[in-house]
């Protein structure tokens, strides 16, 4: 055990099993070895260990990494508290007493949180890359559907016509905000706590700036007490995962709807669908449903760490061991969801003609008619009322807009003329949009170009 002579008895085996985090924090092995190498180099630079000892330690650490990567060394979860103590024990086995000098000027408190910060930076970079890849997929599909009319919804009731490209661009926007959140979480993690010790720094001449630069950190932490107990950057990461999976869950819900026999807007690839053990005809959107289901556990992980942190006095408390499992879990499930969603969208077929006939004369063009009245000088509230009467009249006669004639409109209000009937033409509905941010095909095409340029430059 790392605390040596103070105790005459070993930790009870049940207590060790209960307190061990090795089963999951072994994911930190590359980052722990990276941090230890930098620490050894700093100790050598400061004259605390000599060059021979430094080389011996680094060679030993490199061998441990190689052994672990090849499966030649597998630390026993019943023997070690965590991956950090396992690595140290293995280093003693490989190089002898020189291994004892590596921990000079270092506590497990600053050692572990340094590894966690390095891991978070790596995880954020991977997620950001996968989000960008998904955005490219959405943009590629959008390029082929700027004029594909679908129904836009509010309250899950038909609202106004939009294009399929316009709908997908809404998710491109969401994903961009997700990236900004992960970039913020990465920035929050980009400060090196190594050299903070247990909570109060060190009396040794440690060069913290040297270590930070070796590890690629942008800065060093300024308060040792805060540095070893700060988990805010993990909360930022978990919050980012929660917002990200919420966006994927919304898209999953739409895919579930779009792929039904009632909607028939998309057809999912067999590679990302499942069948029924009883009903031979079934083709289920299980990948979308599973992604939607992941939101619960990822939300729970955020709540878990928030609850762990809320009552902890400064500085380090063992409760903080509970920080890593929810973080690793959220990363794995959110990142996997991103990858699967990307592949599912890439391989689905879009029924571009789904709404071409169905929306002809649909009442979702009512706002266009109200705008026509506004341009004739009618106040919008009055226009709204007039068009409501048009809808009511058509419904009572079981007619759609495109089956109304000019006399029908004039019977409600004499201001109508023949040009009002153009408002019922679904094929030109998108082109009539004038405002930036609307589904006008030309504006959407411009947005696609701008997004592709932005992503390629990023």
CB hemisphere CA count around 265 (13 angstroms)? 18
Helix (H, G, I), strand (E, B) or coil at 163: strand
* Catalytic residue (choose from 69, 276, 427, 428): 276
Dist CA 226 CA 247 (whole Å): 33
Q: Which two tokens stand for residue 91?
A: 């280093």
Average pLDDT over residues 440-450: 97
* Catalytic residue (choose from 155, 261, 277, 396): 155
Average pLDDT over residues 68-88: 94
The pLDDT assigned to 11 comes to 80
Average pLDDT over residues 327-350: 98
**Which domains does the chain show, CATH number per domain?**
16-104 (1.10.275.10), 109-204+222-350 (1.20.200.10), 363-457 (1.10.40.30)
Pairing status of strand 266-267 against strand 219-220: unpaired
The pLDDT assigned to 5 comes to 61
Dist CA 123 CA 141 (whole Å): 28
Q: Which two tokens stand for residue 261?
A: 């026999």
What interhelical angle do 232-258 and 286-309 show, nearest 10?
160
Query: Residue 157 pairs with which residues in a beta bridge?
Result: 154
State the pLDDT confidence band at 2, using cuts at 50, 70 and 90.
Answer: low
Residue written as token pair 């409109």: 409
Average pLDDT over residues 166-175: 98
Dist CA 134 CA 346 (whole Å): 9
**Per-residue pLDDT tens for 91-149?**
999 999 999 999 999 999 999 999 999 999 999 999 999 999 999 999 999 999 999 99
Q: What is the mean pLDDT of the chain?
A: 95
Helix (H, G, I), strand (E, B) or coil at 235: helix
The pLDDT assigned to 403 comes to 93
Dist CA 248 CA 250 (whole Å): 5
**Is pLDDT above 60 for 1?**
no
Dist CA 100 CA 445 (whole Å): 63
Q: How far is CA 346 from the centre of its chain?
A: 19
The pLDDT assigned to 412 comes to 96
In which element (H, E) is residue 350 found? strand 349-350
Dist CA 448 CA 452 (whole Å): 6
Q: Dihedral of the CA atoms 181, 185, 188, 192 (nearest 10)?
A: -150
Residue 276 annotated in active site: yes
Is-above-0.85 flag for pTM? Answer: yes
> Strand locations in 15-173, DSSP E?
149-154, 157-163
Residue 145 annotated in active site: no
**Per-residue pLDDT tens for 243-265?**
999 999 999 999 999 999 999 99
Helix (H, G, I), strand (E, B) or coil at 452: helix
**Per-residue pLDDT tens for 387-438?**
999 999 999 999 999 999 999 999 999 999 999 999 999 989 999 999 999 9
CA angle 274, 242, 22 (to 5 degrees): 85
Dist CA 83 CA 21 (whole Å): 8
Contact 220, 206 (CB under 8 A): no
Helix (H, G, I), strand (E, B) or coil at 379: coil
Measured CA to CA in angstroms, residue 378 lies from 111, 364, 372, 373, 416 at distances of 71, 20, 9, 6, 11
The pLDDT assigned to 357 comes to 86
Candidates 277, 292, 298, 276; CA nearest to 340 is: 292
Dist CA 445 CA 451 (whole Å): 10
Contact 128, 183 (CB under 8 A): yes
Phi, psi of 349 (to 5 degrees): -100, 140
> Strand locations in 148-294, DSSP E?
149-154, 157-163, 191-192, 219-220, 266-267
Measured CA to CA in angstroms, residue 104 lies from 47, 118, 201, 225, 436 at distances of 12, 21, 12, 19, 61
Q: Which two tokens stand for residue 280?
A: 């031979």
């Amino acid at each position: 055990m790392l605390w040596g002579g103070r105790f005459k008895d070993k930790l009870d085996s049940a207590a060790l099993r209960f307190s061990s985090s090795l089963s999951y924090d072994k994911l930190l092995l590359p980052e722990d070895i990276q941090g230890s190498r930098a620490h050894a180099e700093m100790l050598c630079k400061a004259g605390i260990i000599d060059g021979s000892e430094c080389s011996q330690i680094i060679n030993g650490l490199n061998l441990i990494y190689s052994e672990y990567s090849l499966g030649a060394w597998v630390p026993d979860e019943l023997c070690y508290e965590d991956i950090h103590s396992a690595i140290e024990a293995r280093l003693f086995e490989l190089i002898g007493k020189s291994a004892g000098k590596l921990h000079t000027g270092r506590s497990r408190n600053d050692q572990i949180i340094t590894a966690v910060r390095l891991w978070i930076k790596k995880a954020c970079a991977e997620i950001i890359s996968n989000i960008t890849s998904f955005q490219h997929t959405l943009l590629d599909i959008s390029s082929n559907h700027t004029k594909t009319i679908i129904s836009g919804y509010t309250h899950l009731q038909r609202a106004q016509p939009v294009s399929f490209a316009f709908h997908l661009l809404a998710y491109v926007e969401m994903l961009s905000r997700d990236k900004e959140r992960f970039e913020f979480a990465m920035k929050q993690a980009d400060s090196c706590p190594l050299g903070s010790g247990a909570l109060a720094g060190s009396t040794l001449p440690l060069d913290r700036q040297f270590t930070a630069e070796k590890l690629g950190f942008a800065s060093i932490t300024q308060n040792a007490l805060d540095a070893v107990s700060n988990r805010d950057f993990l909360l930022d990461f978990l919050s980012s995962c929660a917002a990200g999976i919420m966006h994927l869950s919304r898209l999953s819900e739409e895919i579930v709807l779009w792929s039904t026999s009632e909607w028939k807007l998309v057809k999912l690839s067999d590679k990302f669908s499942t069948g029924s053990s009883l009903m031979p005809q079934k083709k289920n959107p299980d990948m979308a449903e599973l992604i939607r289901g992941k939101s619960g556990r990822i939300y729970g992980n955020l709540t878990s760490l928030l609850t762990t942190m809320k009552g902890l006095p400064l500085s380090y408390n063992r409760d903080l061991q509970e920080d890593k499992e929810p973080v690793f879990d959220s990363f794995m499930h959110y990142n996997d969801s991103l990858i699967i969603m990307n592949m599912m969208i890439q391989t689905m077929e879009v029924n571009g003609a789904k709404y071409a006939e169905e929306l002809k004369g649909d009442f979702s063009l009512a706002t266009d008619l109200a705008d026509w009245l506004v341009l004739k000088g009618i106040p919008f509230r009055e226009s709204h009322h007039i068009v409501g009467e048009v809808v009511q009249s058509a419904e009572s006669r079981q007619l759609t807009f495109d089956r109304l004639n000019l006399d029908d409109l004039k019977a409600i209000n004499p201001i109508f003329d023949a040009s009002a009937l153009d408002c019922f033409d679904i094929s030109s509905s998108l082109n009539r949009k004038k405002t930036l941010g609307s589904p006008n095909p030309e504006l959407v095409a411009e947005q696609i170009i701008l997004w592709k340029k932005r992503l390629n430059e990023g």
